[in-house]
Structure 1
Amino acid sequence: MAVEQSTVRPSRPFALVLVLAAALVAVDQLTKWWAVSALTGRAPVDVIGDLIQLRLTYNPGAAFSIATGYTWVLTLFAAAGVIAITWFARRVRSRAWAVGLGLMLGGAATHLGDRLLREPGFARGHVVDFIDYGPFVGNVADIALVLGVALLLVLNLRDIPMTGRAPEVEADPTA
């Protein structure tokens, strides 16, 4: 009797999450490399007047420079975020959910990489920010995180499940 060998392959939506996240990490890190090499020691560069500028900063904190003295805690949060998003993403069957989770996973993974590998040291690294839009300075990963969260919020508000199937409506037996 032959034993059937089965190979466990990730679902296509999960593969999309991973590919999108990996691409985002690559783009984010390349743009940060460019920013460090091109903007170090330079005055802000106007892109759209004072509305959008390129200005190199190193952020030891979270959004809006919150918790700047607790970079190691932010590193733990980023690691927990990467683990949680990956765990949830394995169950996704919807392409839209895969895109949202891929954007979030890529953003969280690249921030985790910055925290682990950049100066001033392991688990204390500062995130490279260079896109200055008024009161905020961010990077490609920040934009992806915001877009991913917004997409998942819209999907939730529209009751679109991770499985990609519309919720079944029960027929009213009295009708």
Structure 2
Amino acid sequence: MALTLLASDFLTKQIALTHFSGTDPTETLGGLLKFTLVLNSGGAFSIGEGETWFFTTVKMMVIILMLVVSPRIRTPVWAVPFGLVIAGAAGNLADRLFRDPSPWQGGVVDWIQLPHWPVFNLADCGVVCGSALVMWASMRGIRLDGTLASEAPTGHPLA
């Protein structure tokens, strides 16, 4: 699933770069959904614009940490959200590393726009949905091995 998200993100960003404009959005669904090309050098909601190196470094650290933890996962309840977050972070990381103006300074290609919401991309959807699932599993007390934290007599809750 993670590879599908990563490939879809890359493909749709290439389509957006070819067919969409930041000054003349393409409207669909009666204006509910617009396709607007934005190269975002900041984080979510364009926070920290111009601090691309920071977001590049943080994304790399998140991906590495999740890859280190992921071999302990024994349930889809954790595998799916980890896959979504890793793929989403990797999709935006690739933009930051390889797009203009320079390595570590590239702008993330955002292209989906809903009313009253910042422009985003499929990688962002993966990170947001995956993070929501991580919070849900954590609040339910589900451990990485699929057992409930309340079932474990001792040890770390994420063991």
Q: After TM superposition, is the score higher than 0.5?
A: yes
Measured at CA, do residues 53 and 93 of structure 1 come closer, stay the same or move farther in structure 2, by a change above 3 Å?
Answer: same
Determine if the alignment matches structure 1 residue 143 to structure 2 residue 156.
no
Displacement, 1:23? Answer: 1.9
CA distance in 2, matches of 1:156, 1:111: 25
Task: Tell me if structure 1 keeps the 8 A contact 2:111–2:121.
Answer: yes
- Matching residue within 70, 79, 83 for 2:64: 83
Work out whether residues 22 and 38 of structure 2, in 8 Å CA contact, stay in contact via their aligned partners in 1. no
Write out per-residue CA displacement over residues 124-156 of structure 1, whole angstroms, 9 at most, x where no aligned residue: 000000001123100000111110011111111
Q: Which residue in the other structure is 1:122 paired with?
A: 103
- Aligned partner letter, 1:44: P
Equivalent-residue separation in structure 2 for 1:67 and 1:150 (angstroms)? 23
**RMSD across aligned C-alpha pairs, in angstroms?**
1.6
Q: Secondary structure at the match of 1:22?
A: helix
Specify the alignment match of 2:143 in structure 1: 161
TM-score normalised by structure 1 residue count: 0.81
Paired AA for residue 12 in structure 2: T
Q: Distance in 2 between matches of 1:169 and 1:148?
A: 25
| 3-state SS of paired residue (1:90) | helix
What is residue 156 of structure 2 aligned with on the other side? none
Residue correspondence of structure 1 range 1-175 to structure 2 within 5 A? 20-40=1-21, 43-134=24-115, 135-167=117-149, 168=151
Give the match for residue 157 of structure 2: none
Return 5+ residue gaps in structure 2 as ranges: 154-159
* SS of the residue 1:34 aligns to: helix
Amino acid at match of 1:72: W
Percent of matched pairs sharing the same residue: 38
Letter in 1 for 2:37: L
- Does the Cα contact within 8 Å between 2:35 and 2:111 map onto a contact in 1? yes
The one-character-per-residue Cα deviations of 1:87-114 (angstroms, maximum 9, x if unpaired) are 1212111111000000000001111111
CA contact (8 A) 2:25 2:35 kept: yes
- The unaligned stretches of length 5 or more in structure 1 are 1-19, 171-175
For residues 151 and 58 of structure 1, what CA distance do their matches in structure 2 show?
A: 28
Runs of 4+ aligned residues of structure 1 deviating over 6 Å after TM superposition are none
Partner AA of 1:164 in structure 2: G
- Distance in 1, matches of 2:14 and 2:138, equals 36
Larger Rg: 1
Q: TM-score, normalised by structure 2?
A: 0.89
